[in-house]
Amino acid sequence: YRTLDGLDVRGRRVLLRADLNVPLRDGRITDLTRLERLSPTIGELAGNGARVIVLSHFDRPKGQLVATMSLRPVAEALGAVLHRKVAFVDDCIGPEVARAIAALNDGEVLVLENTRFYPGEEANDAAHAARLAAHGEIYVNDAFSAAHRAHASTEGIARILPAYAGRLMQAELVALTAALGNPARPVGAIVGGAKVSTKLDLLTNLIARVDLLVIGGAMANTFLAAQGAELGKSLQEAALHDTARAIMNAAAGHGCDILLPADFVVSETFAPNPSTRIVPADAVPANTMALDVGPATTDAIITAVKGLKTLIWNGPLGAFETPPFDTATLRVANAIAAATKSGLISVAGGGDTVAALRQAGITDRLSYVSTAGGAFLEWMEGKVLPGVAVLATDSA
Ligand code: 3PG
């Protein structure tokens, strides 16, 4: 793929695909990370005299104009985050857009309305992509987190205009390649979360690539139950016991060690600060459920992390939104941060993971924290991301 290195953008209309899909609660943006991380690209383009036209989706309006899914408030927040004037038009094609673009001066930034208000976006309709492409002369994709979607603004346009990776896209690709492409070994992965079923492809890909796989979260229960452990009321997927055993066998074949919980923090109810007990992972009492991995497991994970050169992390180890079941996740997060200081390459991603890191206050102490949720998972599954693949083909 081509980067912005040496690209002359002065006076040119640059169509920048960003991911402005920020979390919103009661009309307020709850996390500005995705906007902050656009700063290098927008700063560089605008600083070099480009006329920057930003395209993004927001939420899932399914091809309809849904007023609550307008990008207007996000465009305002982007201006505040970047400390620059950011204009907005409430459409992404049509005469009003054309007028706003014609009025842009060098170095100015304009955000267009939610690309998903048009059905042609998700359909990746060629005529629709051409209408979007007509706004600019150069296409820059900085939306790694939307690159798993083959949509008009993430994929179609790149077939029409000369296409480049923005600085955030570039940073994501460099970090992710360092972690799974050709990593410094030993390389380990920590995978948590509730369900094996949603992470089957991911686990299958990882066991073939990493030397150590730590499985935490409720998905570990399914693996333990498959080996005959008593799990009480703990969440697990009984239908996946054979699958779990097959993954463990395949891991052994690849020389990948699997680290499963040896102890759990259990409680009779899932509520904040209930009374808890620590029990062996194969003997959860019938009236209780596992809600976090226990201290012995946490120690084992921390020791294992210290022996790694590269680590990829996705998914919390326990029910971390509800203290004290965030204990293991926070302890491991801090240990990863400390190991990173002494040379570990640590890469984390996926929605819940980033929330957990923020809770631990260590997002800036890992080597790299991805802005991506679904795209990070698909990348960990070894899938080709269409928005990335199209940048590598020198089509226009
Ligand atoms: C995300 O938030 O993961 C991206 O913006 C993609 O959103 P989507 O899952 O609605 O395509």
* Closest C-alpha to 304, from 187, 183, 192, 216: 187
- pLDDT (tens digit per residue) in 129-156: 999 999 999 999 999 999 999 999 999 9
Identify whether 195 is a catalytic site residue. yes
What is the per-residue pLDDT for 394? Answer: 62
Of 145, 352, 371, which is best to mutate to test ligand 1, by the most ligand atoms within 8 angstroms of its C-beta?
A: 145
Q: Which positions ≥6 away from 370 have C-beta within 8 Å?
A: 144, 145, 172, 175, 176, 347, 348, 349, 350, 354, 376
CB 193, CB 237: distance < 8 Å: no
Beta-carbon neighbour count of residue 380 at 10 Å? 26
CA distance 217 to 191: 8
Q: How far from 281 is each of 16, 216, 289, CA to CA, in Å?
A: 50, 12, 11
What is the per-residue pLDDT for 67? Answer: 95
What is the per-residue pLDDT for 194? Answer: 86
What residues pair up with 191 in beta bridges, in sequence order? 215, 314
pLDDT reading at 396 higher than 80? no
Q: Which positions ≥6 away from 343 have C-beta within 8 Å?
A: 309
> Does residue 209 line the site of ligand 1, with CB under 6 A?
no
Beta-carbon neighbour count of residue 125 at 10 Å? 16
Write out the two tokens for 236: 């697990």
- pLDDT (tens digit per residue) in 85-97: 999 999 999 999 9
For residue 19, the ligand 1 atom closest to its alpha carbon is 5
Beta-carbon neighbour count of residue 367 at 10 Å? 17
> Does residue 60 line the site of ligand 1, with CB under 6 A?
yes
pLDDT reading at 47 higher than 90? yes
Q: What is the DSSP-derived secondary structure letter of residue 385?
A: P
**Catalytic residue selected from 2, 12, 72, 195:** 195
Write out the two tokens for 298: 């946490």
CB 147, CB 119: distance < 8 Å: no
pLDDT reading at 3 higher than 80? yes
- pLDDT (tens digit per residue) in 237-273: 999 999 999 999 999 999 999 999 999 999 999 988 8
Burial of 43 (0-12, 13-18, 19+ CB in 10 A): middle
What is the per-residue pLDDT for 229? Answer: 97
Radius of gyration for the chain, computed over Cα atoms and rounded to the nearest angstrom: 23
- The three state secondary structure string of 217-286 is HHHHHHHHHHCCCECCCCCCCHHHHHHHHHHHHHHHHHCCEEECCCEEEEECCCCCCCCEEEEECCECCC
CA distance 51 to 169: 20
Of all residues in the chain, what percent carry a pLDDT higher than 70? 99
Q: 13-168, what's its fold?
A: Rossmann fold (3.40.50)
- pLDDT (tens digit per residue) in 373-382: 999 999 999 9
Q: Which positions ≥6 away from 253 have C-beta within 8 Å?
A: none
Residues spanned by CATH 3.40.50.1260 within the chain?
A: 13-168, 183-380
> Does residue 374 line the site of ligand 1, with CB under 6 A?
yes
CA of 31 from ligand 1 middle (Å) equals 15
Q: What is the DSSP-derived secondary structure letter of residue 180?
A: I
pLDDT reading at 330 higher than 80? yes
350 is in an annotated binding site: yes
- pLDDT (tens digit per residue) in 354-374: 888 888 888 899 999 999 999
- The upper half-sphere exposure of residue 264, i.e. CA atoms within 13 Å in the direction of its Cβ, equals 30
- pLDDT (tens digit per residue) in 204-237: 999 999 999 999 999 999 999 999 999 999 999 9
**Catalytic residue selected from 43, 63, 79, 351:** 351
CA of 380 from ligand 1 middle (Å) equals 16
pLDDT reading at 14 higher than 80? yes
CB 368, CB 390: distance < 8 Å: no
Q: How many residues does the chain have?
A: 396
Of all residues in the chain, what percent carry a pLDDT higher than 90? 89
Q: Which CATH superfamily is domain 183-380 in?
A: Phosphoglycerate kinase, N-terminal domain (3.40.50.1260)
Write the ipTM: 0.99
CB 49, CB 107: distance < 8 Å: yes
**Catalytic residue selected from 49, 374, 382, 383:** 374
What is the per-residue pLDDT for 206? Answer: 96
What is the per-residue pLDDT for 86? Answer: 98
